[in-house]
Amino acid sequence: MENRKANENNCCPPEDNRPDLRSIEGPEADEELAQMLKALAHPARVQIVRILTRRDSCICGEIVDVLPLAQSTVSQHLKVLKEAGIIRGEVDGTRVGYCLNQRALRRFRALVAGL
């Protein structure tokens, strides 16, 4: 039995859970969608999201250990995901814990579902 709840992240500040009122289509939505697609369009970044899904949160070093890539490369991929709003990072001393931004992921799924 796990002591985590489905709607909580265990490493980052609580999320904004207000509903997303933005439209699912139109020029802005197209741009937004393309941007998120681009951020995810790399096997390593898909894997990172998968890892965070399983672990619920994860420090950077663990991801580096799992992926067959140099530390700097992983850091670069994390940056791409973070800038797209898909993940969030929380500094904890010398470590950095990353977790999914569930709100952004919901938005992404909604945009894809609208295709």
Partner DNA sequence: CCCGGCTATCGTCGATTGACGATGGAAAAT
Partner DNA sequence: ATTTTCCATCGTCAATCGACGATAGCCGGG
Residues that bind its own copies (CB under 8 A): 25, 30-31, 33-34, 37-38, 40-43, 45-47, 49-50, 53, 105, 108-109, 112-113, 115
Q: Which does 46 bind (CB under 5 to 8 A by kind): its own copies, DNA, none?
A: its own copies
Cα–Cα distances (Å) from 82 to 10, 27, 76, 85, 101, in that order, read: 17, 23, 10, 5, 9
| Interacting residue ranges for DNA, rule: CB under 7 A | 38, 41-42, 44, 59-61, 64, 69-73, 75-80, 89, 93-96
Residue 87 interacts, among its own copies, DNA, none and using kind-specific CB cut-offs from 5 to 8 Å, with none
CA–CA separation, 63 and 74 (whole Å): 8
Question: For residue 64, what is the enclosing H or E element?
Answer: helix 60-66
